[in-house]
Amino acid sequence: MARARGSIKKFSRAQVLFHWFYGSAWIVLALTGLTFMWRGDPTGPAVGLGPLLQGSVGQTLRLVHRIAAVGLMASPLVWLLGDPKSVWPDLKELFAFGRNDLKYMLIAPLYYTTGRGQLPPQGKFNGGHKVNFYVVFITFFTFAGSGLVMWFGRGSVSDAAFHTAQFVHSLSFFLGSGLFLLHVYLTAVHPFTRRSLSAMVNGWMELQYARLDHAEWVEREIRRGTAQIRDGGPAAEAR
Amino acid sequence: MGRAATWESWRPDPTNPRQHVAMLVDTSECIGCKGCEVACKQWNQNEARISQEPGTYQSHPALDAETWTVIKFFETDAENGMSMWLMQKHNCMHCTEAGCVTACPTDALQYGDYGVVTLDQEACIGCGYCEPACPFDAIHVDQTVWGQKAQKAGKCTLCYDRIANGMQPACVSTCPTDCIKFGDRDALIAWGRERVEQLKAMGYPNANLYGVDEMGGLHELYVLLEPPEAYGLPVNPSLSKTLTLWKYVLQPVGKALLGAGLFGLVLNWLAARRTFKGGLSPHETGAAMHD
Ligand code: SF4
Ligand code: SF4
């Protein structure tokens, strides 16, 4: 079987915009936040990129970090205001983690490496998307909460609260960046799953890929008559 | 004991930076003149900040980024119709296990020669992590909302620039009663213990030496007439567990896991590019026999 043409609409323009708004703020935050991890031997002089990131450069990066933080915190508005209709159904599906999702999580690592195994039919979001979303959802609040404590609470919150915020912020970073790396890998690098990237570029996904990776969703949309399907690949003119 | 001439002439061994120096404040001899505060401001060229708290004799309510030493005044309850002033020369204690060094993400704070905790203002990004990490409230970063360029941490340096050049710290050399002593840490501890015994014999049963074991050993020692809490000093201060966990567990483990994850992705890519040739899954190419 070769690749057939034809694609299905997966995301609205507002959802795509929200994704990239959030994603770019996240990347800026991660990069500027990395200054805080540049610490080698505490008794030796700063090494590597360290000295570059410190002093007034570091202070400027801190300012950029805060501006990006405001952007990140505001980004859900793009979805909420831009495409309110899709918010509830999508969130409902994202938060429903069933047996198929669990199966998917167990089989996917092997399948995406060796092609062996049979992935259970997935909805609009597969088990991996859901787990990714949970981490994003939770860290959105832990990042914002702990960040605000450190931004505005210095001197007024207790020392223990400040240290906890510091810990939670870093923990969120490690959790979030692990998922981030995996997410970028699967959607931009992995030879098979990167076929899903177009859905987050112009909203359209290859129908054949969708039938493989989101069979349950495609069937449901067709059954209900709500599927938006067109001829031609996802990268076609129609935007 | 009066003026201890021996301390005035003492200098650290310039060839032995591993030697631990210390300052010892014999609070029983402090007269609260604040000469040390002025000497500190002058030597370090820190701006004058007028912020006296009404109703006290203290020049400043607390230390700040440009005020590195302050004489704190505490009045004891009246006994036989008499109360007493307790004076504590407050500044960075140069801890052996320092909260600020543990918290500083950019290496601006480090354990330096002679046991001094050094602060490199060039490297400081003003994050303020050090502030709540110090159990003595001895390091500060000015708080401005957006004018962040102005924010740098500031604290007592133990006049590292002076002692490394064979001089005494500015506050030590200016103290008119010689109640601040500077010297080899072990020798000062021995001296302090003797002084405590002497004070006890003079009718101060609560006299004690502070700083020997606190935070792994302070490089600022105090001969006190009353228990530490009477001077606003923390009893058994300790390094925050959360901070230690953050620094020595979360950060290295997190970095290692991220690295391992990245390695796993590379391995996956090497395998997947052969399995999913042309981006097609075995189901599409018909290779999945059990389909
Ligand atoms: S007293 Fe505070 S500022 Fe000084 S070394 Fe200890 S933790 Fe750091
Ligand atoms: S404010 Fe400066 S000295 Fe304090 S923790 Fe941050 S970088 Fe280090």
**Which tens digit of pLDDT belongs to each residue from A210-235?**
988 898 899 999 998 888 888 877 76
As a whole number of angstroms, the distance between CA A119 and CA A112 comes to 10
Chain A, 115 to 154: residues with Cβ < 8 Å from chain B are: 115-116, 118, 150, 154
Q: Which two tokens stand for residue B16?
A: 């032995």
User: Each residue of B92-106: pLDDT tens digit?
Assistant: 999 999 999 999 887
Predicted pLDDT of residue A237: 47
What's the rounded mean pLDDT across residues B125-143? 90
- Would the pLDDT of B187 be above 60? yes
- Residue A34: band (very low, low, confident or very high) from pLDDT cuts 50, 70, 90: confident
CA–CA distances in Å: residue B271 to residues A212, B147, B248: 20, 51, 35
- Residue B225: band (very low, low, confident or very high) from pLDDT cuts 50, 70, 90: very high
Mean pLDDT over the full length of chain A: 87
- Would the pLDDT of A42 be above 70? no
Helices A127-152/A159-184 angle, 10° precision: 150
As a whole number of angstroms, the distance between CA B96 and CA B105 comes to 18
DSSP assignment of chain B: ----HHHHH----TT-TTSPEEEEEEGGG-----HHHHHHHHHHTPPP---PPTTSS-SSSS-BTTB--EEEEEEPPPBTTB--EEEEEES----SS-HHHHH-TTS-EEE-GGG-EEE-TTT-----THHHH-TT---EE---SS-GGG--EE---TTHHHHTTT---HHHHH-TT--EEEEEHHHHHHHHHHHHHHHHHTT-TT-EEESSSGGG--SEEEEESS-GGGGTPPSS----HHHHHIIIIIHHHHHHHHHHHHHHHHHHHHHHHHHTGGG--HHHHT--TT-
- Residue B155: band (very low, low, confident or very high) from pLDDT cuts 50, 70, 90: very high
Please name which of A89, A113, A92, A108 lies closest in space to residue A212, comparing C-alpha atoms.
Answer: A108
Q: Which has the higher per-residue pLDDT, A160 or B277? A: A160
Residue B116 beta carbon below 6 angstroms from any ligand 2 atom: no
- Most B CBs within 10 Å, among A112, A157, A166, to test the B interface: A166
Distance A231 CA to ligand 1 centre (A): 68
Helices A13-33/A55-74 angle, 10° precision: 160
Residues of B in contact with A215 (CB under 8 A): none
- Residue B128: band (very low, low, confident or very high) from pLDDT cuts 50, 70, 90: confident
Predicted pLDDT of residue A59: 74
Distance A154 CA to ligand 2 centre (A): 13
- Residue B5: band (very low, low, confident or very high) from pLDDT cuts 50, 70, 90: very low
Predicted pLDDT of residue A213: 86
Q: Which has the higher per-residue pLDDT, A8 or A38? A: A8
User: Each residue of A44-76: pLDDT tens digit?
Assistant: 555 555 566 666 677 778 889 999 999 999 999
Stated pTM of the model: 0.84
Q: Which ligand is nearest to the CA of B96?
A: 1
Q: Which two tokens stand for residue B40?
A: 């500190």
Residue B158 beta carbon below 6 angstroms from any ligand 1 atom: no
Where is average pLDDT lowest: A46-55, B124-133, B163-172, B241-250? A46-55
Predicted pLDDT of residue A39: 53
Distance A16 CA to ligand 1 centre (A): 49
What's the rounded mean pLDDT across residues A79-90? 94
Mean pLDDT over the full length of chain B: 88
**Cβ(B243)–Cβ(B134) below 8 Å:** no
CA–CA distances in Å: residue A20 to residues A83, A91, A138: 15, 18, 18
Predicted pLDDT of residue B55: 76
By C-alpha distance, the chain A residue nearest B258 is A178
Q: Which has the higher per-residue pLDDT, B260 or A119? A: B260
ipTM over 0.95: no
Q: Which two tokens stand for residue B7?
A: 């301390």
- Would the pLDDT of B237 be above 60? yes
Residues of B in contact with A116 (CB under 8 A): 282
Where is average pLDDT lowest: A52-66, B26-40, B220-234? A52-66
- Residue B108: band (very low, low, confident or very high) from pLDDT cuts 50, 70, 90: confident
Residue B94 beta carbon below 6 angstroms from any ligand 1 atom: yes
CB contact under 8 A, B123 and A55: yes
- Would the pLDDT of B207 be above 90? yes
Predicted pLDDT of residue A52: 62
Query: What share of chain B has pLDDT > 70, as a percent?
Result: 91
- Would the pLDDT of A117 be above 90? no
Query: b/e for A35-70, b at 16 or more Cβ within 10 A?
Result: bbbbbeeeeeebeeebbebbbeebbebbeebbebbe
